[in-house]
Amino acid sequence: MKITRIGALYQLAFMPRFFPVNCYLVEEEKELTLIDAALPFSVKGILQAAEQIGKPITRIVLTHAHGDHIGALDGLKKVLPDVTVYISRRDAKLLAGNKELEAGEPNSPIKGDVPKSVQTKPDVLLEDGDRVGSLQAVAAPGHTPGMMALLDVRSRALIAGDAFQVRGGVAVSGLMKFWFPFPAMATWNKEVALESARKLRQLEPSVLAVGHGRMIEQPLTIIDRALEEAAKKFHLEAANI
């Protein structure tokens, strides 16, 4: 596991070379918020990182319910039974193993590794705009129907889940990158993902922190390029159908 810090944001990267999976610790005055829960074997590394920082993890916020973002959830909940678990109302259904679409959603199948046997029940169902400590929840559907990004209102660091990928080339969720195609393969609806990516750009983040790949400081130019590329490619693909 590799730890990288930018201000109050710590990136914990598991398997950084082979198949990088990130989760994040956000430092508050007396406590830590864990964003996403990486892989089942990540429990130990996450607890060690919190110990190094010297504050307790009191909240776990899940950006979405894919297996590589909730892997250590049950393991952590066993060790930290008092932790409060947050996920969007929509992705709570995925967390419970339900892949059915809701009325009014674009008719594309929910993809990726949706867990089948997670024991942990979320304590709080997030809606767009909710606050969790210094974090503001920002609905960013597309990769999954209920994906939430989190904006640290102190620094404007944006923890964007899989709304973007950085590994294999910075891209909007749904745009296939040859060297790391997995986030695109797991994306529910790219048009919705592009809309959300545009909305996240409007927040003018100071740091872009995603599920797969390194953190990027001052990311606006890079995000703009990714938005342009996605708009062009998604448009061409749509024209070919």
Residues engaged in binding Zn ion (CB under 5 A): 66, 162, 186
Beta carbon of residue 112, minimum distance to Zn ion (angstroms, whole number): 5
Nearer to Zn ion among residue 94 and residue 157 (C-beta): 94
Tell me the residue nearest to Zn ion as measured from the CB.
66
| Cβ within 8 Å of residue 191, ≥6 positions away | 106, 142, 234
- Residues 212, 167 contacting (CB under 8 angstroms): yes
Nearer to Zn ion among residue 91 and residue 162 (C-beta): 162
Torsion of CA 152, 155, 161, 163, to 10 degrees: 110
Beta carbon of residue 169, minimum distance to Zn ion (angstroms, whole number): 17
Nearer to Zn ion among residue 130 and residue 162 (C-beta): 162
Beta carbon of residue 180, minimum distance to Zn ion (angstroms, whole number): 12
Beta carbon of residue 174, minimum distance to Zn ion (angstroms, whole number): 11
Return the half-sphere exposure (C-beta side, CA atoms, 13 A cut-off) of residue 196.
31
Nearer to Zn ion among residue 27 and residue 162 (C-beta): 162
Structure tokens that stand for 188 in this block = 């529910």
Nearest-CA neighbor of 66 among 111, 113, 101? 113
